[in-house]
Structure 1
Amino acid sequence: MITYEDRRLRTLADQGRWTELLGRHRQARAAGRLREAGQLGHLIAFGAPPELAARLFDAEGGPGSTADAGDHDAGPLWEVLATRHSWRRLALLLGPTEVRRLVLHTRALLGEDLREGAEPDPEGVPLALEPWELAGWEERNRVREYLRTGGARRALFALPGSLEGLGPVDLPGRGETVPGLAATRLLSGYAPWLDAVCVRGTAPDAIAHLTTARRITGGYLPLGHAYPTLVLAASDTPAHGTAQGRLALWRVLTAMTGAAATTLPEIRGLAARLRCFTWSEPDDELRYLHLALEDPATGLTWALSGALPEPAYV
């Protein structure tokens, strides 16, 4: 239901009264009215000139009035802003904060190559997508499509997306689990609806821990085809943007290499050798992820599995 106040705020946006809207946003946020602040912030981040929209994240409004990386409506306010302007327009307007970093990575997801002309990422994640990241992901599906007056559209994720190329596979007994690995800890916190396991063995050895079936329909696929679902699954709430999903996955891959910090040659080597196996489950509906990642160099396989029966938001 669109209220009188909603219409009034949209009228202010249509009239370009951005300073007034920014003042109302700061008042709402400082008073703890976070939903109202999120709605106001969305209007500003989407429609205001970048010089004013970037002021959502500065501290000039006083205690409690500043938006941060967690402020959102249909999606994070920093992601809305990043979809509207190039990094060249935003670089001098955003301070050295987490917001700045996430905007940088969002622009990279949207096709900008920022490996030169922007500060390096503190974790060493490149500011341009690698070829294996690009392989199975259309640009228009990487980041939510935000609407001017609120709301957003985002591609649903499903892995496997179809049964094409998959076939029957008999599962062996459960493989020997490998406890205590950093990559497994990261995957266990990847999304609240996912279960994770690491075993010494192959994909079927790991999958046997995550399904009750003894025969599944599954098959191997390139990492690039699994990559979009992995990123979207890690950023599947309005409070998170796709950049956070990409960073979460790079942390997992770094941990799989056994390195303490991201080293691009090691990540590229891992991406080239990983064998990805996906399978279907009878109760799969709209959003689900079933994937095993075999590393033949170490003999380890990590597997993830889970499903959301209904979209958390549209």
Structure 2
Amino acid sequence: MITDEEYGACALAGAGRWTELLDLFRQVRGAAAVAGCPAAGWPSGPIGHLIAYGAPPEVAARLFDADGGPDTAAGAGDHDAGPLWEVLATRHSWRRLAPLLDPPPIRRLVAHTRALLGDELGGRADPDPEGVPLLLQPWEQAGWEERSRVRDYLPGGGARRALLAQPATREGLGRLELPGHGTSVPGLTATRLLGDLAPWLRAVCVRGTAPDAAARFAEEAEPTAGYLPFGAVYPALVQAASGEPALGSADGRLALWRALTAMTGEPRPGPADVNALVARLRCLTWCEPQDELWYLHLALEDPATGLAWAISGAASA
């Protein structure tokens, strides 16, 4: 059912009356705040989507400005089919958006989204507070086309996104006999961060090899499994960490970098330490009998520390 606000919003967008549409967004969002409703969702989300997608950047960026009054500015969690800042980031270059965005959280997420889309930010963006580079590393780019890194948003609302499962295919995999469970290593920050990538994932750390870790979750003693480079599993991990409508691919990338940084075990890790970790990781993926649409089964072995992590789960359709 189309609401009066949405009908009016579509008419304003069709006529290119973007300033009036921005005023409508702020009115609806402010009214939702007064009523105690979640302003991040319906009905301000669809209106915000129209603005973020179609308005000139000088108007669209004002979605996140507080000059409309209390509770009228969009935040990082405002979304329709995806966060409004990500919709905006898919429409304009960082060069055009950088002078227009003030809230630091929004600037950061838009900058990382532009990096995912292949935009070279150069010195026009502030250094990331967690040290995550604003340039994709070679292993982040391997096997992941720019057009599939972020949701494909539609002008009137909604988005297209092909779900990336891991293993993506059984091609190249074979039966692998798993050993007994490795010795559990509890309490590591890296394990918690890996498990927190998605609400449907479980994570565990063991002292041992990738098969030792996989044995903790694999339902079969001899699953269909195989090794592959970390770059091949990276897209599925980022997408799993950004599966909720309020999260964008930049959120997923930052969450995964946070986990990888913790996995290095270094006291003050930086991008070079993460790159070194990725280069030495042995990645094992396996299948489960019930796998259908969106799932992830992965073991990550760090031979330098003798630790291995397993991540496993499936999202409901």
Residues in 1 aligned to 2:194 and 2:267: alpha-carbon distance in whole angstroms: 16
Query: Quick one: percent identity of the two aligned structures?
Result: 66
Of residues 251, 255, 279, the one that matches 2:258 is 251
Shift of 1:202: 0.7
Query: Residue in 1 aligned with 2:18?
Result: 18
Find the counterpart in structure 2 of residue 232 from structure 1.
239
TM-superposed CA distance for 1:144, in Å, is 0.4
Q: Distance in 2 between matches of 1:10 and 1:93?
A: 25
* 1:115 CA drift (Å): 4.1
Contact 1:183/1:252 (8 A) holds in 2: yes
2:54 pairs with 1:47: yes
For residue 16 of structure 2, what is the amino acid of its counterpart?
A: G
CA contact (8 A) 2:164 2:239 kept: yes
Deviations 1:117-147 (A, max 9, x none): 2211111111111000000201110000100
CA–CA distance in structure 1, aligned partners of residues 125 and 201 of structure 2: 35
**Mapping 1:135-284, distance limit 5 Å:** 135-284=142-291
1:62-105 alpha-carbon deviations (Å, 9 max, x no partner):
11111010000000000000000000101110014101100000
Counterparts of 1:263 and 1:232, CA distance in 2: 23
CA 1:153–1:262: 2 relative to 1, 3 Å: farther
Q: What is the aligned length?
A: 310
Which ranges of structure 2 fall in alignment gaps of 5 or more residues? none
1:155 positional shift: 1.8
Show the counterpart of 2:85: 78
Task: Give the distance between the partners of 1:40 and 1:211, measured in 2 at CA.
Answer: 45
Structure 1 residue 181: deviation in Å? Answer: 1.1
Unaligned runs of 5+ in 1: none
**Offset of residue 262 of structure 1:** 4.2
- Whether contact under 8 Å (1:200, 1:299) holds in the other structure is yes
Deviations 1:155-188 (A, max 9, x none): 2111001111100011111110101111011112
Give the alignment of 1:58-77 within 5 angstroms: 58-77=65-84
Amino acid at match of 2:9: L
Contact kept, 8 Å, 1:57 with 1:66, in 2: the verdict is: yes
Look up the equivalent residue of 1:267 and give its one-letter code.
V
Distance 1:309 1:217 in 2: 22
Aligned residue among 301, 311, 314 for 1:304: 311
State the alpha-carbon separation in 1 of the partners of residues 265 and 114 from structure 2: 29
Please say if residues 95 and 121 of structure 2, whose CA atoms lie closer than 8 Å, have aligned partners that are also in contact: no
Matched-pair contact (CA < 8 Å) for 1:168–1:215: yes
Shift of the 261–28 alpha-carbon distance from structure 1 to 2, 3 Å rule, reads farther
Does the 8 A contact of 2:6 with 2:43 survive in 1?
no
**1 CA distance for matches of 2:286 and 2:316?**
17
Distance (Å, rounded) in 1 between the aligned partners of 2:219 and 2:86 = 39
The amino acid that maps onto 1:160 is P
TM-score, scaled relative to structure 2: 0.95
SS at match of 1:31: helix
Q: Are 1:117 and 2:124 matched, yes or no?
A: yes
Answer yes or no: is the 8 Å Cα contact 1:294–1:300 preserved in 2. yes
For residues 44 and 292 of structure 1, the distance between their equivalents in structure 2, rounded to whole angstroms, comes to: 42
Greater displacement, 253-262 / 3-12 = 3-12
Give the Cα–Cα distance (whole angstroms) in 2 for the partners of residues 115 and 207 of structure 1: 41
Structure 2 counterpart of 1:31, one-letter code: A
